[in-house]
Structure 1
C-alpha cells in the first residue's frame, strides 16, 4: 500500500430504520483504520448506500457508483467495514477487484484484516466473496420456501408488524396482516401530501407538531409499554413510503422475495397501496431527491437559486441591522470559501416576487390535470422491472448458469411467464396512450401556486424543472434569469398539459432588479 493514501470509505445497509446505528458503526471503523499509524491516510469521503441490496452491482449503486465512474482519480484505497458491504456477488466483486488492480488501487476490509494489495489478501477476499454469494443464495432460497408456506396458509410469521399493518388472528391458527386503521390512514395522508408538493421534511415537522408517534412507538403504546419519544425525520418519512411492504411485497433482509415465476410474493391481501402506483411514486421520489443539507431550507428558493457566476447554490441568510430590523437575502454558498469572483446576493423578497411573477405568467393560465385511472408511468415502471427480469434470465442462461435439467426447465417456465407479462404490459401502455387519460380539475396553476407555502413552492419549482440564476450586472444591479423546459419535456406525472392551441410567449425571462425593492422586466 502506498504511503499516506487517500481513503474512500463505503457504507452499505440493506434496510434502514429510524433507530439504525450500523452506518455510524461502519463509518467509525473505517475512520479509525485510516487514521491509525500503520496507514496514516486521509479520508476523502464516504460513499453511502442505505436501503441498497448487496446484490446490486457496486458500479450501479447511487452512492458508490459515481466514485468509480466520475471520481476515480480522487482516491487510492477503497475501505469497507466487511467485504459483504461492498458486494454479495462473487462476480461483481471480481469485476471491482480487477478494475482497481488496473488502476493501481487497493480494497481493504478493515474489520477482517484483508488488504487486497497483497497476494494473500486477494486469495482470502475471493474465498469470502464466494461464501457471501452462497449466503445470499441460501437466504433467498430459505425466504422463498418460508414465504410459500405463509402464502399457502395466509398467515404472517415474520416478526414485528410492518408499518401500517396489524395482526389478525386466524380461526385455523396463526396471524394474518391487515391494515391498521389509524396508520393506514396516516400512510395515505403522507402519500397525498408528497404528491401535493409537500417535502418529507415538512411532513416530519407537521407530524411531530401534532404529536403523532412513530411506528415503533405506536407499537410500544399498543403493547402498554412506554414510548421512547423518537421524533419523525425527513429520512424516516421517505423510508416508510419507499419500503416495498406498504405495497404488500414480502422482503427478507432487504431483498424482495419472488416466486418460481419471478413474481413478487405478497404479504397481505390488503396492501396499503397498489404495487404499480407505489413503484411510480418511488421512481418520482428518487428523481426528485432534494439537495442534501444539514438544515433544510425553509425559504422558497434556498437550494433552488444558483449563482450565475460560479454555479454554486444559494442559501437564505439574514442580517440584523443596528436598528433591530432583520434583512433577509439569498447569498452564494461559495462566498465563504472565496472561490467565486462575483458571488450572487439578492434580497429574498425581491427574488421570490420575480420568480412568482414568472410562474404566474408562464404556468399560471395552464389547467391542473388529473389522470383517469392508473398512470401510464406506473405501468412503465412495472414493464421496466419485467424486462429487467427477462434480461437477467437470458444473461444467466447464456452464461451457462442453468446446468441441471430441473434448472433449465424452471428457466423456460420463468422465461415464458415474463415474456407474456412484457407483451401484456406493452399492450396496456399502448392502449392507454391511444385513449384520453387526463381530465381537468377546474383549477389553474396560478390558483395552485397561490395556495402553497414557501416549502411547497420550492418542491413545485423542482418538479417542473424551473431554474433560477442570480448574478450582478456591470452597473451594480442584480440580474435574474429564470428558465423552464417546454411543457412536453415536463414529466407526465406532474399532470401539466397545455390546452389545444395554447402557445407560451416565453419559457425564459430575464429580470434586472435594482437595489431598491421595485423591479422591472428587461
Structure 2
C-alpha cells in the first residue's frame, strides 16, 4: 500500500464501555498504525458509531453510512482496529468489499493485518468475516437466554412502568416485578366500567378533566416529587391505553407478543389490569360504530337517531334541523323544536311522502319501545373478537418455513448456532399455533352475561351514548306518514343484533322470527311476519326481508 494516503477511522461500539474494544482503545490502535513510518498516512476523519449493533449494515450506520454515501471522495482507506468493528455479518463485509473495489478504496483491519490488495488477503478477510458472524450469533443466543430466563420468572426488564402499574423490588433487591398501582387503579376501573357500559371515551375524558384527575404522566411526576404539567385527558389517550397490550399484561418485542413454551403470550405482571377476554371486549367497544349506508354522520350531532332513523317511504336517512320558533302576538317567544325529515324529499329528490316529525316525539317512542320490549332481558355481549391475525399468521408461517430451509441448507452449523436455531424454531412454532388458535376463536365469538338488563344499561346512558348504542347494535327505525290512513305517524323499529343474540340464547319466545320488530300506528302484519300468510302486497319493501324463518 503506497504511503501518504488519506485514512477514514472507523469506530464502533454496541454500548459505551472501558473494555478491550472501547472507543479510546480503537482510536489508539488506528492512530499508531496510520502514523507508522512505512505508511505516513493522514487521518482525515472519524466515523464513530456508539450503541450500534454489529449486525447493522455499514451503509446504514449513522456516521459511517454518511461517509460512504456522501463523502467517499474525501478518503482513500477505511481503517478499523478489528474486523468486527466494521461488521459482524459476512454478507455486509462482502458488500463493503465490493463497494471498495468499485470506488478504488482500500480496507485495513489492523489486528488481523489484512492486505486486501491481494487475492489471498481478500480470501482471509472473507473467512474472518464468517467467523465474526458466528461469534455474533453466539453472543445473541446468550443474550436471548438471559432475557428468556428473566421473562420466565416475570421479572421487569427495563424502563418506566406501563400505565396502571408500578415497579416493585423483591428478593432483597435482586429482582423487580410489575404490580398494579393502587393509587391510579380506581381510575382504570372506572374507565373499564364506563367503556363497558357503552360510554364514549370523549365523555370520560371531559369528566376526568372536570374532576382534575391526573393523567398517567402527571401521576408519575407527582410520585417522583416533580412538578406536574397539567396534561389534559383526551379520548385518544384513553383509546391508546385500552388498546395497549399491557392492559392484560402481555410482554411484546418489536410489536409482537413474546410467547412461552406452550405458545401462550408471556404475562409479565403477577396480576394484570384485566383478563385477555375482558381486554378484547374493551378494544371492540371503542371501535368506531359502523356507518349506515348513505348516512352523513356529523361530529357533535344533537339528535338521538342520527344514522339510525330512515324514511319508510323511500329508505333515505333522516336529517335533523332546529326550528327557530316564533313570537306570539303578546311578544313572548315560543322556542323552536328539533325535527327529523326525509333527506331525499328535503333535497328535492323523488320522495314525495317523506315525514316531517318532531324529534322529541320520535325519540320518546324509541325510548319507551326499548324499555317495553327488551328492557327486562339480561344484557349479553359478544366476547371481543380482536383484529384479524390472518396476515400475521401467513408471515409467521413463511418465516418458519425459511428458518427450517436455512437449517437444512447448513446455515446453522457453526458453534452455538444450533441452540439459536432451536430457540427461534420453538418461538416461531409457538407463535404459529397461537395465531391459528386466535383466528379460529375469532370466527365464532362467544356470548357472555354483563350482569345487567338492557333497560338498566339504556337508562344510565346520555343521548350521545344512546345513539352509539343504537348504531353499534345495528338498530333501525323507519317512519311513515299515515301507514294506517288518518292514524298519524307510523313507526317500526328493528332491534338488530340485540335480537340476534337473544335468539341464540332463546331469551324470548319468538323462535320463528329472525329479528324482533316492534311498531306504532302500522298494520299488524308489517311487524309480525307470521300474519303475512295471505299476502304481502302492501308490506313496504324494506320490511319484506323479515319473513318467517
TM-score (norm 2): 0.51
| 1-structure distance, mates of 2:259, 2:456 | 48
User: Are 1:165 and 1:177, in contact at CA under 8 Å, matched by a contact in 2?
Assistant: yes
Q: Tell me the residue number matched to 1:394.
A: 397
Q: Kindly state the Cα deviation for residue 248 of structure 1 after the two structures are TM-superposed.
A: 0.5
Matching of residue 353 in structure 1 with residue 364 in structure 2:
yes
Q: Kindly state the Cα deviation for residue 166 of structure 1 after the two structures are TM-superposed.
A: 1.6
Q: Kindly state the Cα deviation for residue 307 of structure 1 after the two structures are TM-superposed.
A: 5.5
User: Are 1:300 and 1:455, in contact at CA under 8 Å, matched by a contact in 2?
Assistant: yes
Q: Kindly state the Cα deviation for residue 251 of structure 1 after the two structures are TM-superposed.
A: 3.6
| 2-structure distance, mates of 1:326, 1:147 | 69
Q: Residues 197 and 153 of structure 1: is their aligned pair in 2 closer, same or farther, counting only changes over 3 Å?
A: closer
Q: Tell me the residue number matched to 2:304.
A: 300
1:289-438 alignment, distance < 5 Å: 295-297=299-301, 299-306=303-310, 309=314, 311-312=316-317, 314-315=319-320, 317=322, 319-322=324-327, 323-331=332-340, 338=347, 345-365=356-376, 367-369=377-379, 377=383, 392-397=395-400, 402-405=405-408, 409=422, 413-414=426-427, 417=430
1:112-511 alignment, distance < 5 Å: 148=148, 150-151=150-151, 154-170=154-170, 171-173=172-174, 175-252=176-253, 255-259=255-259, 263-286=264-287, 288=289, 295-297=299-301, 299-306=303-310, 309=314, 311-312=316-317, 314-315=319-320, 317=322, 319-322=324-327, 323-331=332-340, 338=347, 345-365=356-376, 367-369=377-379, 377=383, 392-397=395-400, 402-405=405-408, 409=422, 413-414=426-427, 417=430, 444-470=453-479, 480-485=491-496, 489-490=500-501, 498-499=507-508, 507-509=516-518, 511=520
Q: Kindly state the Cα deviation for residue 157 of structure 1 after the two structures are TM-superposed.
A: 4.5
User: Are 1:310 and 1:340, in contact at CA under 8 Å, matched by a contact in 2?
Assistant: no
Higher mean C-alpha deviation, range 472-481 or range 317-326: 472-481
| 2-structure distance, mates of 1:289, 1:226 | 42
User: Are 1:478 and 1:512, in contact at CA under 8 Å, matched by a contact in 2?
Assistant: yes
| 1-structure distance, mates of 2:435, 2:469 | 34
* Count of residues in correspondence between the two structures: 360
| 2-structure distance, mates of 1:146, 1:328 | 69
Q: Residues 390 and 238 of structure 1: is their aligned pair in 2 closer, same or farther, counting only changes over 3 Å?
A: closer
| 2-structure distance, mates of 1:225, 1:415 | 44
Please list every run of 5 or more consecutive structure 1 residues that lacks an aligned counterpart in the other structure.
1-137, 514-521
User: Are 1:396 and 1:402, in contact at CA under 8 Å, matched by a contact in 2?
Assistant: no
Higher mean C-alpha deviation, range 144-153 or range 271-280: 144-153
User: Are 1:317 and 1:331, in contact at CA under 8 Å, matched by a contact in 2?
Assistant: no
Q: Tell me the residue number matched to 1:21.
A: none
Could you say what the CA RMSD is over the residues aligned between the two structures, in angstroms? 5.1
Please give the secondary structure, in 2, of the residue aligned with 1:169. Answer: strand
Q: Residues 339 and 414 of structure 1: is their aligned pair in 2 closer, same or farther, counting only changes over 3 Å?
A: farther
Q: Kindly state the Cα deviation for residue 364 of structure 1 after the two structures are TM-superposed.
A: 3.1
| 1-structure distance, mates of 2:259, 2:146 | 11
Please give the secondary structure, in 2, of the residue aligned with 1:176. Answer: strand
Q: Tell me the residue number matched to 1:104.
A: none
Please give the secondary structure, in 1, of the residue aligned with 2:227. Answer: coil
User: Are 2:378 and 2:453, in contact at CA under 8 Å, matched by a contact in 1?
Assistant: yes
| 2-structure distance, mates of 1:395, 1:195 | 38
Q: Residues 337 and 354 of structure 1: is their aligned pair in 2 closer, same or farther, counting only changes over 3 Å?
A: closer
Please list every run of 5 or more consecutive structure 2 residues that lacks an aligned counterpart in the other structure.
1-136, 413-419, 523-539, 541-549
Q: Kindly state the Cα deviation for residue 147 of structure 1 after the two structures are TM-superposed.
A: 5.3
Q: Kindly state the Cα deviation for residue 283 of structure 1 after the two structures are TM-superposed.
A: 3.2
Q: Residues 390 and 206 of structure 1: is their aligned pair in 2 closer, same or farther, counting only changes over 3 Å?
A: same
Please give the secondary structure, in 1, of the residue aligned with 2:324. Answer: strand
| 2-structure distance, mates of 1:427, 1:397 | 20
Q: Kindly state the Cα deviation for residue 349 of structure 1 after the two structures are TM-superposed.
A: 0.6
